[in-house]
Homo-oligomer: A and B are copies of this chain.
Amino acid sequence: MVQFVHPARQDITLAGVLAALADPVRLQIIQGLLTEPACMSCTAASPCDIPKSTLSNHFRVLREAGLIHTTKKGVEHRNVVREADINARFPGLLKAILKHAGE
């Protein structure tokens, strides 16, 4: 049984969030998750020419940075951006970053 690690709101660090978003693939994933209300990893996540194991790793990084919340839903995983937590912890940060993400 896979158990996911989600840091508590107060354990989310700025350096962690920045490191997680410093990768173009992960930036795209977050963007994709914000347009789709609830996404599964592999298929809905942007660049589909990326190996599954690499993608799984990217999702783990995002999860451990506190950026997304993952729940098992049958055979797939539903990922949601923890907007409320990030905005509570670092107001304005997420919006400021994502505003420029598609360049």
Residues of A at the B interface (CB closer than 8 Å) are: 13-15, 18-19, 21-24, 27, 89-90, 92-93, 95-97, 99-101, 103
Contact = CB atoms under 8 A, between A and B. Distances in A.
A36 to B, nearest CB: 21
A99 to B, nearest CB: 7
11 contacts: A15-B27, A18-B19, A19-B22, A89-B100, A90-B96, A92-B92, A92-B96, A92-B99, A93-B96, A93-B99, A96-B97
Count of chain copies: 2
Given A92-B96, A92-B99, A93-B100, A18 B22 contact: yes
A71 B60 CA distance: 41
Contacts of A93: 96-97, 99-100
A18 B15 contact: no
